Structure 1
């Protein structure tokens, strides 16, 4: 019969103390070297060790569950975000409970109710509602929460997001350097979604005191958006289209291809987040490349810190993104 794998066995094989293994499994990495973490992780994988969550939960008197509420799980950005979160918790004592809001406020609220019922130990929330009191009525103040990708205002919980405003300022500088006269912004609804509001406001701020004009088309529930866009493109100015997320970017590309509108000769195109496909078409599309996996990992690490140390963290952590210059501008 094979020897039962215990923390003592892991500690012996990894040449560390039992306490160090316990700290690793609880996500307490302070003062732990990367080499030590890697050695413990490799030992756990080699031994195929799986902590008994039920036993640990009884000992710790909590659920050892982390609730993750995302706006739309079908979005490729979200899948990469979840990858970062899941990777962080992989070798800890915690299990993750992922729930999809499907862009429905009602469904999101129902999901959060279920999480609270399950006595989750912490929540990572990609909020669909901009007002914090919508969530505070449901989520007990003793439950640690970290927001991800978006945030409520005024701030209630810390958030890990992209540098949306700053990067759109840089997009504005790029538009000025290319002598565009008009920027058409296309997006899902903006109001109440902090990431989209910051991208839009960053662009507006960046072109203040110039002759560049901005027009906005929100494509949600707008069956006429393609006709509106076509009419705008017929006007004799040098134009660029700015898609505020990857899904909208590909809607634009399909529209331009269908109507035989050439990129960049007839219109320039840039997208915020490109789902990693923007360099696989011709011409290649200029895009703002986010790092959702690092956003997810950072959110998970911050939630763990709050749960372990009851630490008060900064309101917002911004993970830098990068403008990938290609052929479409």
Structure 2
């Protein structure tokens, strides 16, 4: 059909008002019967009607876009997080504008400013810093913001995260039950990243009054961490490694294999795994399995509820439980 169909023609064919069709297109279904919704939907499909996005934006004073700022787009956790967000907005009129900070604070600030310049209706943020001052440009705008995976302190925006501290408490219990004498924590930079700080604090706090030593090794660009790790493992004490995210876990596995260090014989091993590969190698690796799909979807659902229904955003921290999957590595 070459002729461009208008909203007036959709309304006439469905035998409803233009206002009713407009409300349907904007997902405002209050006081609209299921029969009316079905009739409009079937009419739109039969005509192959596509709403004029620019006209909708002008009329509603809304860009119908949600901005997303992530720490590292190459991370598999982030891919699943974004999948959850996209699933939540799939049946809405909203489009996603995704920005990658690539783990650089300056780039994150530039990306956020760009999202504001694009007049996005709301932002989902995976912050690189835990300091509220870093995000003053967001607090100065009356714009709904929801954090995912991490959060600033004190809470400035609502957040949807894993139960990191609680899971590390459970790992500490496991370490004690398995009679390990030392835990070597391997992580990217911890300072400023709430998820990593909570994981380390949960473990170290739980083991503080025990005889079990806790040593933190932060992975840098050089290989010094590998030498440090080897020296600790070679001590004549029963040791376990706790990798604080999936990327670090596989860096550790790769290094142990190159040095012919066997787990669980030479060292115990447990870590976070968000790509579901830990059960594909032998011996199987014990992991904490997060729910990035659910985290992303929950955050997007909250933001959409605010944007579509004016539902208030309460400043709180929603924790999505992770699962410990025990295998032969520890």
Aligned counterpart, 2:74:
74
The residue that corresponds to 2:323 in the other structure is 322
SS in 2 for 1:165: helix
Shift of 1:23: 6.8
Q: 1:312 to 1:259 in 2, by over 3 A?
A: same
Quote the Cα distance in structure 1 between the aligned partners of 2:158 and 2:283: 40
Matches within 5 A, 1:1-329: 1=1, 26=26, 50-137=50-137, 140-308=140-308, 309-329=310-330
C-alpha contact (below 8 Å) 1:122/1:144 kept by paired residues:
yes
- 2:14 alignment counterpart: none
Q: TM-score, normalised by structure 2?
A: 0.87
Q: Which residue of 2 aligns with 1:14?
A: none
> Which TM-score applies when normalising by structure 1?
0.88
Relative distance call for 1:159 and 1:5 in structure 2 (3 A) is: farther
SS in 2 for 1:167: helix
Give the 3 Å change call, closer, same or farther, for CA 153–25 of structure 1 in structure 2.
farther
Q: CA deviation at 1:8?
A: 9.8
Spell out, residue by residue over 1:102-122, the C-alpha distance to the aligned partner (whole angstroms, 9 max, x if none). Answer: 001111111111111111110
User: Are the counterparts in 2 of residues 53 and 94 from structure 1 also a CA contact under 8 Å?
Assistant: no
Q: Answer whether contact 2:127 2:152 (CA < 8 A) is retained.
A: yes
Give the match's secondary structure for 1:137. helix
Provide closer, same or farther for how the CA distance between residues 76 and 46 of structure 1 changes in structure 2, counting only shifts above 3 A.
Answer: farther
Offset of 1:51 from its aligned partner? Answer: 4.0
Please report how far the alpha carbon of residue 167 of structure 1 lies from its aligned counterpart in structure 2 after TM superposition: 0.8
CA distance 1:93–1:239, shift in 2 (3 Å): same
2:88 and 2:178 map into 1 onto residues whose CA distance is 41
- SS at 1:216's partner residue? strand
What's the RMSD between the two structures over aligned residues? 3.3
Q: CA deviation at 1:185?
A: 0.3
Contact 1:125 1:146 in 2 (8 A): yes
Structure 1 counterpart SS, 2:157: coil
Distance 2:48 2:56 in 1: 18
CA–CA distance in structure 2, aligned partners of residues 177 and 43 of structure 1: 64
Unaligned 5+ residue runs, structure 1?
A: 12-16
CA offsets per residue over residues 135-159 of structure 1, 9 Å max, x none?
Answer: 1135533011001100011111000
Can you give the 5+ residue segments of structure 2 that lack an aligned partner in the other structure?
A: 12-16
